[in-house]
């Protein structure tokens, strides 16, 4: 309706990243690629996109890196204070509510798209949180510019009640799909498995992109600038030194 | 009601990088084989290098539809030249033809960033570098495309480009051997693929020397 009046909906840019999460038999598994981009340039080939929230809750972040770091750190601190206050283990819905309230308050200006997953007394949970503050509760989820490539894999191969190894394999396949088919994602696969018993953070679980060529002899970098002219001008002659002037006023 | 802006563009950028290095008796021209649009890959196996004449090869990055049209135009003009002069066009002659062809479309340009490489009439390597509207210059080496900002400073450092302030004017053709130049090109593309998202998949290297034209491939990062 608004489009008829000439107001186009704002176009949004899914920034370079592939992040995923799925629920398996004993808990949740989160996955992420490790490429950080500034436009067309890779600024970090091995960054960490799976953030700690609580001992039993982790959160993958896509969007502006500063925003995802800041918002997950902030809610992680809030959860710790809440744990001290209540004397109980944190629940995923608590993290969810804290995050979505913050993002909604900033009306989408905090550009963080998150996949939140964890296991608490109520069971395993997986949620997606959008920059404007809306949330979904899903059995499997993907976010970021590579989300379509990853979701294609999930939609083909996901089923309920996956085992741990099946789950890790599927998450890895989905992230690899993003890494190879989306230019905004790349480098390595990070995986995090969360169960009732505890968590397993598999940093660089897969490294399918080694450097393709290294010269055996290496390169030397001699001094390059040619000397065009050598002239020494003593500076003291250019300055008149007056002895015994007034000391500066305090 | 805010004024509606036109949002259709006749151009697209298919990404990629090209490089050419001139040697004393050879010329190396190389380009990656990735063709992309936005954040998607269209194909991992597209050649950006085109043989225009016996001793003259062009590599182009930018909008591949315009590149293809430009290559066809130059090939047709070369055929006419051969009919009229009963010989192949020399590399410096083709260089000027390319410049004129590009400037002809000064007000609706070919979105094509070219680098021409080959041997001149004496068998010495020569490289010409262009902008989108035909400004060109004979140089010892050059790079164009999305990775050129990453590649060019390294080539400047390694290929000892003499200062233009020094007199007499020195030729920038490198004294390196052919194998060393090919090695340099491989290193340069491996590095560019690490940091430029539009460069990768496979590297195509073409070497022109007195024996003829040789083609070589190397795998690059596919992410």
Question: How distant, in Å, are the alpha carbons of A172, A181, B155 from that of A83?
Answer: 33, 41, 57
Summarize the confidence of residues B10-22 as an average pLDDT.
Answer: 96
Does the distance separating the beta carbons of A45 and B194 come in below 8 Å?
A: yes
Alpha carbons B162 and B140: distance in angstroms, whole number: 10
Cα nearest neighbour of B37 on chain A:
A183
CA distance B153 to A85: 57
Determine the Cα–Cα distance for residues A103 and A129; give it in Å rounded to an integer.
Answer: 9
A17 in catalytic set:
yes
Distance (Å, whole) CA A168 – CA A49: 17
CA gap B68, B111 in Å, rounded? 11
**Residue B37: how many other CB atoms lie within 10 Å:** 14
CB contact under 8 A, B39 and A212: no
Reply yes or no on whether the pLDDT at A125 is more than 90.
yes
B198 in contact with A, Cβ within 8 Å? yes
How close does chain B come to A39, measured CA to CA in Å? 9
B contacts of A214 (beta carbons < 8 Å)? 187, 190
**Does A212 contact B157 at a Cβ distance shorter than 8 Å?**
no
Does position B184 have pLDDT exceeding 60, yes or no? yes
Alpha helices, H only, B86-127: 91-104
Q: Please pick, among A17, A128, A135, A172, the residue that the annotation labels catalytic.
A: A17
- Residues listed for chain B: 223
A-chain residues near B36 (CB < 8 A): 183
Q: Flag whether pLDDT at A7 surpasses 70.
A: no
- Does B112 reach chain A within 8 Å, measured CB to CB? no
What is the per-residue pLDDT across A55-74, written as a single tens digit (0 to 9) for each? Answer: 999 999 999 999 999 999 99
Closest residue in chain A to residue B42, using alpha carbons only: A181
Beta-carbon neighbour count of residue A136 at 10 Å? 10
CB A123 within 8 A of CB A95: no
Structure tokens at B120: 């001149």
Residue B167 is predicted with a pLDDT of 74
CA distance B28 to chain A (A): 18
Cβ within 8 Å of residue A190, ≥6 positions away: A31, A32, A33, A34, A48, A49, A50, A202, A203, A204, A205
Residues of A in contact with B195 (CB under 8 A): 41-42
Beta carbons of B195 and A41 less than 8 Å apart: yes
Write down the mean pLDDT value for chain B.
94
Contact A219 B183 (CB under 8 A): no
- Token output for A97: 């509510």
- pLDDT (tens digit per residue) in B125-141: 999 999 999 999 999 99
Distance between B132 CA and the closest CA of chain A, angstroms: 21
Residue located via tokens 């080959």: B118
**pLDDT for position A250:** 60
C-alpha–C-alpha distance, residues A58 and B113, integer Å: 46
CA distance B161 to chain A (A): 9
With 60 as the cut, is the pLDDT of residue A104 above it? yes
B169: contact with A, CB 8 A cutoff: no
**What does the alpha-carbon distance between residue B62 and residue B15 come to, in Å, rounded to a whole number?**
6
Judging contacts by C-beta atoms under 8 Å, the chain A residues touching residue B168 are: none
Q: Check residues A143 and A16 and name the one with the higher pLDDT.
A: A143
Contact at CB, A212 and B160, closer than 8 angstroms: no
Query: In B, which residues are within 8 Å of A179 by CB distance?
Result: 223
Kindly report the number of other CB atoms within 10 A of residue A154's CB atom.
22
Instruction: From chain B, pick out residues whose CB is under 8 angstroms from the CB of A213.
Output: 186-187, 189-190, 218
- Is the per-residue pLDDT at A3 higher than 90? no
CB contact under 8 A, A212 and B219: yes
Q: How many other C-beta atoms are found inside a 10 Å radius of the C-beta of residue B98?
A: 25
Distance CA(A18)–CA(A49), nearest Å, equals 10
Decide if B155 contacts B139 (C-beta within 8 A): no
Closest CA to B142 of B115, B161, B111: B115
On whether the CB atoms of residues A53 and A72 are closer than 8 A, the answer is yes
Q: Per residue in A184-226, pLDDT tens?
A: 999 999 999 999 999 999 999 999 999 999 988 888 887 767 7
ipTM of the complex: 0.88
The minimum CA-CA distance between B159 and chain A, rounded to whole Å, is 10
Q: Is B183 on the interface with A (CB under 8 A)?
A: yes
What is the rounded radius of gyration, in angstroms, for the C-alpha atoms of chain A? 26
Separation between Cα atoms, residue A212 and residue A68, nearest integer Å: 32
């Amino acid at each position: 309706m608004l489009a008829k009046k000439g107001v186009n909906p704002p176009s949004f840019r899914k920034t370079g990243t592939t992040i995923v999460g799925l629920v398996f038999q004993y808990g949740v598994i989160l996955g992420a690629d490790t490429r950080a981009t500034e436009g067309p340039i890779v600024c970090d080939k091995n960054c960490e996109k799976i953030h700690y929230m609580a001992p039993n809750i982790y959160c993958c972040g896509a969007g502006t890196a500063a925003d995802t770091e800041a918002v997950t750190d902030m809610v992680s601190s809030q959860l710790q204070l809440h744990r001290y206050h209540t004397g109980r283990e944190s629940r995923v819905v608590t993290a969810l509510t804290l995050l979505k309230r913050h993002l909604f308050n900033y009306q989408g200006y905090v550009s963080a798209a998150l996949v939140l997953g964890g296991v608490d007394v109520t069971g395993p949970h997986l949620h997606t949180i959008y920059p404007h503050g809306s949330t979904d509760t899903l059995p499997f989820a993907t976010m970021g510019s590579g989300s379509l490539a990853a979701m294609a894999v999930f939609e083909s191969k996901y089923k309920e009640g996956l085992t741990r190894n099946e789950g890790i394999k599927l998450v890895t396949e989905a992230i690899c799909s993003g890494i190879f088919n989306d230019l905004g994602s790349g480098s390595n696969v990070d995986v995090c498995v969360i169960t009732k018993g505890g968590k397993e953070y598999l940093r660089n679980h897969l490294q399918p992109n080694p450097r393709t060529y290294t010269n055996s002899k290496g390169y030397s970098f001699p001094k390059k600038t040619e000397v065009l002219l050598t002239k020494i001008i003593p500076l003291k002659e250019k300055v008149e030194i007056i002895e015994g002037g007034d000391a500066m006023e305090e | 009601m805010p004024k509606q802006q036109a949002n259709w563009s006749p151009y697209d950028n298919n990404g990629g990088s090209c490089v050419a290095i001139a040697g004393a008796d050879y010329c190396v021209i190389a380009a990656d084989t990735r063709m992309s649009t936005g954040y998607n890959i269209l194909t991992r196996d597209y050649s950006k290098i085109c043989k225009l004449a016996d001793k003259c090869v062009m590599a182009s990055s930018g909008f591949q539809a315009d590149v293809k049209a430009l290559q066809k135009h130059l090939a047709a003009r070369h055929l006419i030249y051969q009919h009229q002069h009963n010989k192949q066009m020399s590399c410096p002659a083709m260089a000027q033809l390319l410049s004129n062809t590009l400037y002809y479309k000064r007000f609706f340009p070919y979105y094509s960033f070219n680098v021409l490489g080959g041997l001149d009439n004496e068998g010495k390597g020569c490289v010409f570098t262009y902008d989108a509207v035909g400004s060109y210059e004979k140089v010892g080496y050059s790079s164009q495309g999305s990775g050129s900002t990453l590649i060019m400073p390294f080539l400047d450092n390694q290929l000892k480009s003499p200062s233009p302030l020094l007199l007499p004017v020195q030729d920038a053709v490198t004294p390196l051997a052919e194998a060393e130049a090919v090695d340099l090109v491989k290193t340069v593309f491996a590095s560019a693929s690490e940091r430029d998202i539009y460069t990768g998949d496979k590297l195509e290297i073409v070497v022109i020397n007195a024996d003829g034209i040789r083609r070589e491939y190397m795998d690059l990062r596919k992410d």
